[in-house]
Structure 1
Amino acid sequence: MHTRTVAATVGALLGFSALVLPTPAAQAADSGTSHGPVVVAHRGASAYAPENTLEAIDKADELGTAWVENDVQRTKDGELVVIHDTDLKRTTDVEQVFPDRSPWKVADFTLAEIKRLDAGSWFSPDYAGARVPTLEQYLKRVSANHQKLLLEIKAPELYPGIERQTLRELRGEGWLDWYHVRHKLIIQSFSADSVKTVHKLRPDVKTGFLGTPAVADLPQYAAFTDQINPNYKTVTPEYVAAVHALRGAHWRPLELFTWTINDGPNATRLAGYGVDGIITNTPDVVREATEGDAADAGSGASGSFSGATAP
């Protein structure tokens, strides 16, 4: 209850937000004006560009997608990088560049070594030379595109203290100021302990838990998170209703962002369930399928809070 009190006090102090106009591409997909679930580009627009690269962010922007999702891990020398797998094999040429370094774990390579790797050729020759970006580089590009960020702390059990380090990096790039916290940032993880840590360190920051907790356990999660973000195959209309019936860490109704839907029929079906957001590799396909299907279902997903009261 103490954490809720802190969060409520912070929210009340923040007050109401000012209107800031994004770029036309971002404005078209802004969750505050959408007529369906918020569309989030999974690892960037990863059906069209190599995942978690700067090129994938730009492709999402080109498609008019305001929100991008990424994964953050840490190198051997303590730098934060954006990559999904805990090893480098699938999305880089690490086996060719460092053939004797099996099993090629991210945590076993320095940033300088990772910078040598090609993170685009595996996807397409057109993206040869793309690199694994640092979190700093990623944040700068998202900011330049006037986009918003759903940041996943990946495998935090491998990287003690990564929550504090991630928050420090976000602060250094201006992402923990009043406007970003209220409108442009969500931090999520599959680890409940990691989400709890983020909420304890920065109770004003919006958080999400990745998974499908039992309905009976949802109140426990609502104490430290603002979203329950399950695989779409586990979502039912009853589950969405159970999530929405509770108030999260900022005393607003819990939201539900589901993943990873890449086709129109499933997107339409889940939008009909009333989900607040859809995380997808094909943001253009999902947006076309869902616009107008759920009346402002994502209106709370911009990260904007109005203190401890209901919206």
Structure 2
Amino acid sequence: MQEKPSMLRRRFLAGTGAVTVGATVASGAAGATSSDRSESESERKDRATVIAHRGFADIYPENTVAAFEQAVQGGSDDAADRRGADWIELDVFPTCDGEIAVFHDTELGDLTDTEGVLYETPASEVFSAEVLESGQTVPTLSEAMEAIPPNVGVNIDIKDGSPDVQFGRVDDPESEREDWKWLETVVDISTSYENELLYSTFWEGALATIRDIDPDLPAAYLLYDSIQEGLDVTDEYDTEGVNPPLEMIYGTPFFDEDAYEEIDIVAEAHARDLPVNVWTINTWYEVEQLIEAGVDGLFLDYSEIVRWGGLQS
């Protein structure tokens, strides 16, 4: 198993005051040449880590090999004509016969030409399913990892692999351990590559299982309906990141005061020396407001929305 990488902790980019998450190479030019990556951090305009949500799902057929290959093309300068991903976010499910699929939805039918619940469907059917009439099929986790260069981080978003697991917090995570056994395969596959990794999930049972498999695996809880609960889980499992939705970022125009406690999650995370990676960002204005608020990573469906602020800096 890999050591817990200290690079997942916050670090400030020289001369900018912006913060990012990941290895030095992860904040460098994804898909660029080594000479491109040698430029000093103070010269770059990678003001926050660009995380390609499902491989930039608004540009490419989501969670496909082609999407991942395209998402990493480009540089780390926000003002560049093409901004490449520093990290790739992808989703994982098990098939009914134990293979690991990269796919977001429980039901195959909304995004592919195949019907059925993914974890109740055999691998032969899952991996032949065409995604959004793109000519691309649902990939295995191994195929996805092969498509992502080793200098690009991978956020593995763990979905439920059973109808018997509880979303969010659970009274006895150990009671679900057998239902999450498939995560051993996820870990075996993903850690055989050189990429920095972060395992994230909405399911406490999955987070507990990752910690059980190896306490040093980098993990993050995906916050959803309570900031305080998310921070409690973060503390309990000593996670390496805090991944909240856009509406939880206090002090921005997007904060939903009717839904969430008035807690400054960025300040709380940074007090714990943890990066804040916010999902899912769709406009340049959201990017600029979040960077101003001090967030570290941005889950984006479209990379070029960082361009306006890059041109101004």
Could you state the TM-score of these two structures normalised by the residue count of structure 1?
0.71
Pick one of 149, 152, 155 that aligns with 1:147. Answer: 152
Kindly state the Cα deviation for residue 167 of structure 1 after the two structures are TM-superposed: 0.7
SS of 1:259 mapped into structure 2: strand
Kindly state the Cα deviation for residue 143 of structure 1 after the two structures are TM-superposed: 3.2
Q: In 2 relative to 1, CA 115–196 (structure 1 residues): closer, same or farther, beyond 3 Å?
A: closer
User: Aligned AA for 1:153?
Assistant: I
SS of 2:276 mapped into structure 1: strand
In the alignment, is residue 279 of structure 1 matched against residue 284 of structure 2?
Answer: no
Any stretches of 5+ residues in structure 1 without a counterpart? Answer: 1-6, 96-103, 122-126, 247-252, 295-311
Asked which structure has the greater RCO (Cα within 8 Å, sep 6+), the reply is 1
Residues 1-311 of structure 1: pairs in structure 2 closer than 5 A: 23-24=31-32, 35-62=46-73, 63=82, 64-95=84-115, 104-121=116-133, 127=134, 129-143=135-149, 146-158=151-163, 159-171=179-191, 173-175=192-194, 180=195, 184-212=196-224, 213-215=226-228, 218-224=231-237, 225-237=239-251, 238-246=264-272, 253-285=273-305, 287-291=306-310
User: Aligned AA for 1:155?
Assistant: D
Q: Given that residues 72 and 151 in structure 1 are in contact (C-alpha distance below 8 angstroms), is that contact kept between their aligned partners in structure 2?
A: yes
- Distance in structure 2 (CA, Å) of the matches to 1:231 and 1:220: 16
Kindly state the Cα deviation for residue 161 of structure 1 after the two structures are TM-superposed: 1.0
- Distance in structure 1 (CA, Å) of the matches to 2:186 and 2:137: 20
Q: In 2 relative to 1, CA 204–25 (structure 1 residues): closer, same or farther, beyond 3 Å?
A: farther
Q: Deviations over 1:282-311 (max 9, x none)?
A: 1221x32454999xxxxxxxxxxxxxxxxx
Kindly state the Cα deviation for residue 243 of structure 1 after the two structures are TM-superposed: 1.9
- Distance in structure 2 (CA, Å) of the matches to 1:25 and 1:70: 24
Q: In 2 relative to 1, CA 149–270 (structure 1 residues): closer, same or farther, beyond 3 Å?
A: same
SS of 2:130 mapped into structure 1: coil
Any stretches of 5+ residues in structure 2 without a counterpart? Answer: 7-21, 74-81, 164-178, 252-263
Q: In 2 relative to 1, CA 140–18 (structure 1 residues): closer, same or farther, beyond 3 Å?
A: closer
Kindly state the Cα deviation for residue 267 of structure 1 after the two structures are TM-superposed: 1.1
SS of 2:67 mapped into structure 1: helix
Q: Given that residues 249 and 265 in structure 2 are in contact (C-alpha distance below 8 angstroms), is that contact kept between their aligned partners in structure 1?
A: yes
Match for residue 305 of structure 1? Answer: none
SS of 2:132 mapped into structure 1: coil
Could you state the TM-score of these two structures normalised by the residue count of structure 2?
0.71
- Distance in structure 1 (CA, Å) of the matches to 2:58 and 2:104: 15
Which has the larger share of helix?
1
Q: Given that residues 97 and 122 in structure 2 are in contact (C-alpha distance below 8 angstroms), is that contact kept between their aligned partners in structure 1?
A: yes
Q: Given that residues 43 and 70 in structure 1 are in contact (C-alpha distance below 8 angstroms), is that contact kept between their aligned partners in structure 2?
A: yes
| Root mean square deviation, CA, Å | 3.1
Q: Deviations over 1:54-82 (max 9, x none)?
A: 11112212342121100000111110000
User: Aligned AA for 1:134?
Assistant: T
Kindly state the Cα deviation for residue 259 of structure 1 after the two structures are TM-superposed: 0.4
User: Aligned AA for 1:88?
Assistant: L
Q: In 2 relative to 1, CA 136–241 (structure 1 residues): closer, same or farther, beyond 3 Å?
A: same
Q: Given that residues 268 and 293 in structure 1 are in contact (C-alpha distance below 8 angstroms), is that contact kept between their aligned partners in structure 2?
A: no
